[in-house]
């Protein structure tokens, strides 16, 4: 039997400080909590190593996300990667990514990571305007971003992603265009552009409520998205998903698993998994996570088995996010199964979904309202 592809995700739940817009599950880095976390994560790797379901898969991508994985030392990160390799069957040509905050890396650390096998690095660049960092409470400077990219290249990273955000308080179309121009000059292999969304219980949400800053302007964000599409495609990047652009051959293999209904196993507090038709998630609490693993239990908080029609539904909903879309016959079969035929006719006539060459995809207008389209087809 051929082993199915699997992506491994490690959630490293630490940052040096919390940015004003961020609602991810994380703790402020403390060495003592980091040591206990590593012990717990090792136990979680070991427990999965004993399960047939995990061993039936062949790992094709490993992704260290967070939080800020590079708050952990390079030694700790490389030993976690080594442990994953000893436990799972990891393909030699796997994509092995790490997220990093530009202010948390040194040349030595980056060389150690490359030497250990990390071959893709994703920096949270966010903007190329220091003023934007102040308005979203994100530590660091543009100079630190450019230095970190240079150091990563020097260390041997050829596959570099930069995450950007648009629609930031005070950001204008001109300043966003300036950010894009500078990013293109830096020539990363991959760029992700995310519209700022205001999450509940963040400092940014509070400041908007207090009236000290304004909420993002939806029309401006649409114009910024269109500008990014135009400038990045002109510069040789191909948009392949709503928020993602890549040079040829550099689409993120790990993230593609999420949009093609592939299998992934998430380790660490709050990490989510999808394997053998099961969706399950870890508890989003570092102490409870550590406690469960100290008792040799997996820290799973919620799980749900999806029927085959539900798995096909998810494949349609996630696949529509891709620019290449999905087979039209899959979309139509899904619409028939879930009573969405009239909805689909409406989405097509309002030009949210288009069809050609037997494939259906979101139009440019559909991409702007992707969440609403997904809800209507769920
Ligand atoms: S660095 Fe990233 S994960 Fe950490 S607080 Fe800021 S946005 Fe959130």
What confidence score (pLDDT) does residue 298 get?
97
The whole-number average pLDDT for the span 43-48 is 97
For helices 173-186 and 142-155, give the axis angle rounded to 10 degrees: 20
The whole-number average pLDDT for the span 224-228 is 97
Band of the pLDDT at 55, cuts 50, 70, 90? confident
Strand arrangement, sheet containing 57-66: 238-241, 244-246, 190-195, 159-166, 120-126, 90-100, 57-66, 4-12, 263-267, 272-275, 278-282, 300-305
The CA-atom distances, in angstroms, between 267 and each of 65, 241, 271, 328 are 10, 25, 6, 35
Residue 100: alpha-carbon gap to chain centroid:
13
Ligand 1 atom nearest the C-alpha of 21 is 7
| Distance from residue 24's CA to the centre of ligand 1 (Å) | 7
Taking Cα atoms as reference points, which of 58, 102, 61 lies closest to residue 251?
Answer: 61
Give yes or no for residue 19 CB within 6 A of ligand 1: yes
Q: Of all protein residues, whose CA lies closest to atom 3 belonging to ligand 1? A: 67
What confidence score (pLDDT) does residue 104 get?
86
What confidence score (pLDDT) does residue 70 get?
96
Ligand 1 atom nearest the C-alpha of 99 is 2
In tens, the pLDDT along 262-305 reads 999 999 999 999 999 999 999 999 999 999 999 999 999 999 99
Q: Of all protein residues, whose CA lies closest to atom 6 belonging to ligand 1? A: 19
| Distance from residue 315's CA to the centre of ligand 1 (Å) | 29
Length of the chain: 378
Give yes or no for residue 203 CB within 6 A of ligand 1: no
| Distance from residue 94's CA to the centre of ligand 1 (Å) | 26
Taking Cα atoms as reference points, which of 60, 67, 48, 55 lies closest to residue 300?
Answer: 48
Residue 340 · residue 358 · CB < 8 Å: no
In the predicted model, is pLDDT for residue 1 greater than 80? no
In tens, the pLDDT along 69-118 reads 999 999 999 999 999 999 999 999 999 999 999 998 999 999 999 999 99
Ligand 1 pocket test: which of 66, 136, 199 has the largest number of ligand atoms within 8 Å of its C-beta?
66
Give yes or no for residue 204 CB within 6 A of ligand 1: no
Q: Is the dihedral of CA 349, 352, 357, 359 positive or negative?
A: negative
| Distance from residue 130's CA to the centre of ligand 1 (Å) | 17
> In this structure, what token pair is assigned to residue 140?
């660091």
Ligand 1 atom nearest the C-alpha of 66 is 3
> In this structure, what token pair is assigned to residue 239?
């948009």
Q: Following DSSP, what letter does each residue of 38-103 receive, concatenated?
A: HHHHHHHHHHHHT-HHHHTEEEEEEEEEES-GGGS-HHHHHHHHHHHHHHS-EEEEEEEEEEE-GG
In tens, the pLDDT along 323-347 reads 999 999 999 999 999 999 999 999 9
Residue 196 · residue 216 · CB < 8 Å: yes
What confidence score (pLDDT) does residue 54 get?
79
Ligand 1 atom nearest the C-alpha of 16 is 4
User: Who has greater pLDDT, 172 or 53?
Assistant: 172
Query: What is the share, in percent, of the chain residues with pLDDT greater than 70?
Result: 99
């Amino acid at each position: 039997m051929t082993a199915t592809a699997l992506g491994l995700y490690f959630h490293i739940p630490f940052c040096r400080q919390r940015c004003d817009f961020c609602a991810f599950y994380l703790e402020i880095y403390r060495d003592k909590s980091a040591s206990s976390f590593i012990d717990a994560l090792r136990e979680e790797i070991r427990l999965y190593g004993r399960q047939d379901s995990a061993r039936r898969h062949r790992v094709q991508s490993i992704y260290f996300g967070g939080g800020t994985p590079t708050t952990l030392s390079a030694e700790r990160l490389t030993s976690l990667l080594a442990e994953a390799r000893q436990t799972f069957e990891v393909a030699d040509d796997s994509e092995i990514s790490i997220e990093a905050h530009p202010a948390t890396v040194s040349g030595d650390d980056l060389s150690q990571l490359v030497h250990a096998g990390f071959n893709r690095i994703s920096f949270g660049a966010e903007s190329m305007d220091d003023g934007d960092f102040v308005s979203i409470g994100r530590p660091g400077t543009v100079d630190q971003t450019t230095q970190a990219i240079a150091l990563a290249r020097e260390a041997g990273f050829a596959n570099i992603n930069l995450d950007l955000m648009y629609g930031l308080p005070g950001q204008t179309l001109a300043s966003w265009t300036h950010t894009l121009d500078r990013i293109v000059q830096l020539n990363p292999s991959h760029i992700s552009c995310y519209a700022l969304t205001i999450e509940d219980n963040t400092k940014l949400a509070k400041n908007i409520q207090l009236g000290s800053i304004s909420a993002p302007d939806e029309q401006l964000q649409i114009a910024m998205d269109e500008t990014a599409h135009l400038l990045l495609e002109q510069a040789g990047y191909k948009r392949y998903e709503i928020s993602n652009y890549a040079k040829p051959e550099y689409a993120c293999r790990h993230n593609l698993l999420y949009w093609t209904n592939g299998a992934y196993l998430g380790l660490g507090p709050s990490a989510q998994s999808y394997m053998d038709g099961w969706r399950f998630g870890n508890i989003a609490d570092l102490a409870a996570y550590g406690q469960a693993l100290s008792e040799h239990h997996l820290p799973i908080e919620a799980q749900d088995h999806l029927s085959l029609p539900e798995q096909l539904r998810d494949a349609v909903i996630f696949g529509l996010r891709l620019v290449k879309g999905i087979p039209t016959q899959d979309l139509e079969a899904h619409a028939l199964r879930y009573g969405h035929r009239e909805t689909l006719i409406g989405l097509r006539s309002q030009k949210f979904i288009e069809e050609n060459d037997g494939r259906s995809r979101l139009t440019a207008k559909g991409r702007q309202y992707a969440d609403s389209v997904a809800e209507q087809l769920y």
